[in-house]
Structure 1
Amino acid sequence: MAKNISSWDISFEVDADFGSKCSPYIRKNVVGLSTIPKLNNAPDKCEIDNAKESRNKSGDPVIIQCEDLMIAISQSLLVEESNVFKSMFSQLWRPEIENQPNETNNDKVNNSTRPGKQVEIVQVTGFDPRVVKFLFDYLQGYTCCFPSDVYMLGKILMLCDYYELNKPVKKIFQAIISIEITLDNVLEFFETAKMLELVESFENIAANLTRRCIQFATANLLSASHIVEFIMKNQDNLESVVEFLEFYNDDNVVYIYAKVENISKIDKNISFPEFIFKEKSWNVDITKNDLSEPYLGCLLNLYASATIRFHMDISIYNWTSGEFITISSRSISLSFARSTGVRDLIKWNDLLDEDNGYIQDDTVLVEVILEYNGPNF
């Protein structure tokens, strides 16, 4: 299977516990970058930062039950963290309705009485007890290890969504991106992305995981023998294998990554090597432009006598959030050997301000996504 990869390759050192991260939606062809840099503030897999002080607050106790698992937790903590639990434990909640036969909700509330004390029991169904235990232990500030199973982490995010528990989401996402993608788990990443894209608030996370899957496939499934090995490793899940390979084999999208070092010292254009897209030669220039004030620019050059329509997104990597932030998104019709792009992508001073997160170690990472829209008649 021919892949649209340039000979130039920008690599980042990634240790065994950390992977890569990026954002918007992707389907194929990564040029110029073998792995996105790890997020510096990713959580330690065996430590949670809120574990220094217990968050078991005073208040009526609640029992979270999932199959044989039972966890005691403070009601006031649940109410503080979740609007769902706040409503659940309000006077307007009707647990007797929730417990009617044939009800399909993932939780049921039962009241159990003891002398002088009432205990609420929330029954959680439809989730693995390990998922339930991790999330509610996390809420209480207990030290615990993040699972190394990306699909389980995805399920924890789904449980967060179900109960509107928003605070853990960022740390869980950081745990997900710390996991290295391999031939053994790339399908798990792909399945997790499909699961999370069903939740509107997780669309960016899903897009990130999808992009990482395609980035991995582009770098590793370069020949028929590689694809056969991938299929054999995942022969118990052939339906997902076929879906992934079909999703991956899209020749209408290309991703170009330009890493600019010593950015504060550049005073002229930096041209990156040519790449092939739709059987045409292209390249990207990163520029410093003195307009009303200095700006970072990004130009795309076509070296062919052709007329072509495409959509172009230009993004800059934010080292603080670990995401590519889209700065420019536009549809373009380009004729013959010409250039297009944005000369005023971001103010130079804003780019160099470390508080904005776009620069680290005097390095900036720019992403250009081209999506082919057809010839222009």
Structure 2
Amino acid sequence: MVDGTADTQELWPQLLQVVKERMRFAWILLSQNASVLFYDGTTLTLNMFSRGAYDTLISSDCRIVLDEVLAELVNPPPAVELLVQGKIPSPPGPEDSTHVHAPGAASATDTSPEPDEPLTSILHRILAQTAFLLYEDGNSQAAALLADVEDLEHFPGDRPEEGEDIALIVPLYLVGRFTPEVLAAIQPLFVHVAARHDLLVDNVSAIPALPETGDEWRQNLQEKLINKTPPSQGPGLCVKETAATLSADGFAFHSQEQLLVYEALKRAQAQLPQDSTIAVFPLPRGRLGSGRAWVPDFIVTASGRVGAIEVGDPHPHEHVAADAALDRSWRSSGIAHIERILLKGFSADREVDAVVRQFLTRLREHH
């Protein structure tokens, strides 16, 4: 336990390390948005670099974590005084917007927007910076999803002290991929980045982009209904027609059958030695050598070979030729083995496990 007379250089780094182990978002907020101005053993004075960072700290569990860690490290724990850019923050008034600019000189790390900068521009910059932070933190899946966000909408809170609700506007077929696990990874970083732009955000969600329509929308829709034109899933994408509604381990799935195969692949993976295992990629997006984009149910790598699994009911007879043409295109693009798994009538995990083992055997033995 740190003595009450310990200097700032000893206390602050140790405090940040413990906070990092306790709550990563609190560590990001404090390490990048705060510095110690004064510490005499009884009072710890922190300088917040922006009003947004201050509001985020006092309105979230980050402040609770800070107090708990101080109580563990210092006996007796010091009182915490918070300043914003070196000055005592005033309580928010009715005239305050979500962009609250504290008086005084801005610090080198201040990212406050220019007074006349449109909110839309600020939100898109927050989106971009959040995506890069996710990528740098190793979460490529969430970063890639943010790259597909077409726009953002904001909904102010009912009271001045409440933050904005941010809606990520994405194509309909991608909404299901923003699973609770994915949003749980995105939201803390988005809130953190927004705070550094003096924007208080409470919640982040994903909603579908509205279709483009015109004055003749009724006629266009009737033609699609008559011709049974499939819904648009993005330019050139061969994807599933329904939005993903199931999730596991942060991955989204369109059907229970896909989830069953995923769990079977995980079981197979767990039984293999670490130096000779498999990699599983659910619903990855890729571009084939033919120029066609493709979203298979699974890509699996094993023993230096790449295989694909498609899950579902048998295709109608008229689709067999098209499937064969696609198979040739996939093989020409380096997919060694393609297998369509039909799970209709399967009632036990062992049956799915047997099919997956057979697929892996064929993949390893493929020449």
TM score, norm. by length of structure 2: 0.24
Structure that is richer in helix per residue: 2
User: Whose strand fraction is larger, Structure 1's or Structure 2's?
Assistant: 1
Q: TM-score, normalised by structure 1?
A: 0.23
